[in-house]
Amino acid sequence: MKRWMMWTIAGAVLAGAAYVLVGVDVRPRVEYVEEPVVEDTTTVPMPPPMAFGVSMEGMVLREGRVKNGSSFGALLGAEGISAAVIESLVAKARGLFDVRKLRAGHPYAFIVPAEEGSSPLYFIYEADPIQYVVFHLLEGSEYVTLGERPVVFTQHAIATTATGALYNDLARTGADPLLAILLSEVFAWTVDFYRIQKGDVFSVVYAEQSVEGKRVGTPRILAARYSSNGKAKAAFSFGEGKEATYFDDEGNSLRKTFLKAPLKFSRVSSGFTKRRLHPVQRVMKAHLGTDYAAPYGTPILAVGDGVVEQAGRTGGNGNFVKVRHNSVYTTQYLHMRKILVKQGQRVLQGEVIGEVGSTGLATGPHVCFRFWKNGQQVDHRREEFPSAEPIAAADRAAFTLLRDSLGTHLEEAELAMTEGRLVNF
Ligand SMILES: [Zn+2]
């Protein structure tokens, strides 16, 4: 059962690096969601049994999972496969699959003739939920092929009432609970996830992929709507590219841009790196920020609208300010000579929040600027922020069509909500 569950959970945990203390918890709280067991009562003529593209006539399937520290050679050796065959398969796999990349936890299978004491004929390793590698083990006719399970693309719509844990609310409806994290990103700039009220409604139209009835990969949000106190905020995905861009009903981007730097005129004196020689401590340390050198007293600007989460002092940071922009992004400004804001204060983009100094562990006047995305420090200069431009005039008509059709699905989902039903189309 739940063959891909572990990977799904791993994915959820990764995405759940959104560890911020949000009012509405977007993180997974349950281990996994039990799917309803549907009895299949229809009778269809049985096709000849196949597994991984191999006829199972007179064969048995022996399945397992790669153990920690195990290897291709060890797995096959334990089945009595000779070193010569293993060596030949390693060579034949070259260019198709690197056998050193067997990962602990991934499923594998042996296809073995049913007669007692038989040696396996095939070894199958499942590289991911879609792709598998078939090794033919018969001495003298070894070969390696790649196979793929058919991927099914589907679209759904779901609406749910927030009860305080969006992840669980979505899981209850039967939708992929990872949508909670995606929703917090889509609405990062327009909905304050710290202020979600019980009874607020999220509706979402999304696409997902499945293999043999099990979800694979991350779903993609096509449209979403958040309704609170009779007011609604919508998001529609439009355009190509790896990062989807979301627009409101009017075709304005849901994104706002950050200032490129927290100082008007400055130079980068030290970039973001996992390893650098600390200028004061003289030891190799990660530098999870970007240093901007500037004279004492230079105004430090908030790079985006937000709320001052912290304004204080520590030995290393000196005087610092931390600004939470939304449920995804937070920024921090260190070594200030003077702090000009208070905890809890709302600040606007470009507002002066402090003055450049060298308090804490600093050799000279500079701001160490730190940028958090979903609770992890990232190099803001390497982050790709999708365009914040509205829909181009040339795309208006296409956008309107798409918006209206997706809007209909959002409404269908809201109507079906009382029944807690997933709308498939
Ligand atoms: Zn720094």
- Going by pLDDT thresholds of 50, 70 and 90, the confidence category of residue 290 is very high
Mean pLDDT of 268-289: 79
Name, in order, each residue with C-beta under 8 angstroms of 160's C-beta and a sequence gap of 6 or more.
166, 169, 170, 172, 173, 175, 201, 202, 203, 417
Q: Is 120 helix (H, G, I), strand (E, B) or coil?
A: coil
Beta-carbon count within 10 A of 285 CB: 13
User: Which stretch of 5-9, 211-215, 276-280, 420-424 has the lowest confidence by average pLDDT?
Assistant: 5-9
Comparing 425 with 130, which gets the higher pLDDT? 130
- For residue 272, report the distance from its CA to the centre of ligand 1, in Å: 8
- For residue 279, report the distance from its CA to the centre of ligand 1, in Å: 10
Beta-carbon count within 10 A of 44 CB: 6
Which pLDDT score is estimated for 181? 85
- Asked whether residue 115 carries a pLDDT value surpassing 60, the answer given is yes
pTM value > 0.85: no
- For residue 274, report the distance from its CA to the centre of ligand 1, in Å: 12
Comparing 188 with 51, which gets the higher pLDDT? 51
Tell me: the pLDDT tens digits for 294-307?
999 999 999 998 99
- For residue 292, report the distance from its CA to the centre of ligand 1, in Å: 8
Q: Are strands 346-347 and 306-314 parallel, antiparallel or unpaired?
A: antiparallel
- Fold classification of 55-149 (topology level): Nuclear Transport Factor 2; Chain: A, (3.10.450)
- Going by pLDDT thresholds of 50, 70 and 90, the confidence category of residue 92 is very high
- For residue 265, report the distance from its CA to the centre of ligand 1, in Å: 17
- Asked whether residue 134 carries a pLDDT value surpassing 90, the answer given is yes
What number does CATH give the domain 151-255+399-424? 3.10.450.350
- For residue 283, report the distance from its CA to the centre of ligand 1, in Å: 14
- Asked whether residue 372 carries a pLDDT value surpassing 90, the answer given is yes
- For residue 370, report the distance from its CA to the centre of ligand 1, in Å: 8
Comparing 338 with 48, which gets the higher pLDDT? 338
- For residue 368, report the distance from its CA to the centre of ligand 1, in Å: 4
Comparing 311 with 255, which gets the higher pLDDT? 311
Q: How far apart are CA 371 and CA 329, in angstroms?
A: 7
Q: Are the C-beta atoms of 386 and 239 separated by less than 8 Å? A: no
Does the fold of domain 267-378 match that of domain 55-149? no
Which pLDDT score is estimated for 265? 76
- For residue 311, report the distance from its CA to the centre of ligand 1, in Å: 17
Comparing 259 with 311, which gets the higher pLDDT? 311
- Asked whether residue 9 carries a pLDDT value surpassing 80, the answer given is no
Give whichever of 131-145, 382-396, 410-424 has the largest mean pLDDT: 131-145
Which pLDDT score is estimated for 266? 73
- For residue 4, report the distance from its CA to the centre of ligand 1, in Å: 41
Residue 166, phi then psi, degrees to nearest 5: -55, -35
- Asked whether residue 86 carries a pLDDT value surpassing 90, the answer given is yes
- Going by pLDDT thresholds of 50, 70 and 90, the confidence category of residue 353 is very high
Q: Identify the bridge partners of residue 205 per DSSP, sorted by sequence position.
A: 157, 223
User: Which stretch of 42-51, 150-159, 347-356, 397-406 has the lowest confidence by average pLDDT?
Assistant: 42-51
Q: How far apart are CA 205 and CA 236, in angstroms?
A: 9
Beta-carbon count within 10 A of 182 CB: 20
Whole-number percent of the chain with pLDDT over 90: 55
Superfamily of domain 267-378: Glucose Permease (Domain IIA) (2.70.70.10)
Q: How far apart are CA 1 and CA 16, in angstroms?
A: 24
- Sign of the CA dihedral with 176 first, then 181, 185, and 191 last: positive
User: Which stretch of 37-41, 165-169, 226-230, 362-366 has the lowest confidence by average pLDDT?
Assistant: 37-41
- Asked whether residue 133 carries a pLDDT value surpassing 80, the answer given is yes
Beta-carbon count within 10 A of 197 CB: 11
Comparing 244 with 284, which gets the higher pLDDT? 284
- Going by pLDDT thresholds of 50, 70 and 90, the confidence category of residue 377 is very high
- For residue 227, report the distance from its CA to the centre of ligand 1, in Å: 41
Mean pLDDT of 340-347: 96
- Asked whether residue 122 carries a pLDDT value surpassing 90, the answer given is yes
User: Which stretch of 29-43, 46-60, 265-279, 398-412 has the lowest confidence by average pLDDT?
Assistant: 29-43
Q: CA-based angle 377:25:211, to the nearest 5?
A: 85
- For residue 285, report the distance from its CA to the centre of ligand 1, in Å: 11
- Listed by start position, the domains of the chain span 55-149, 151-255+399-424, 267-378
CA distances to 38, 47, 48 from 44, rounded to whole Å, are 16, 9, 12
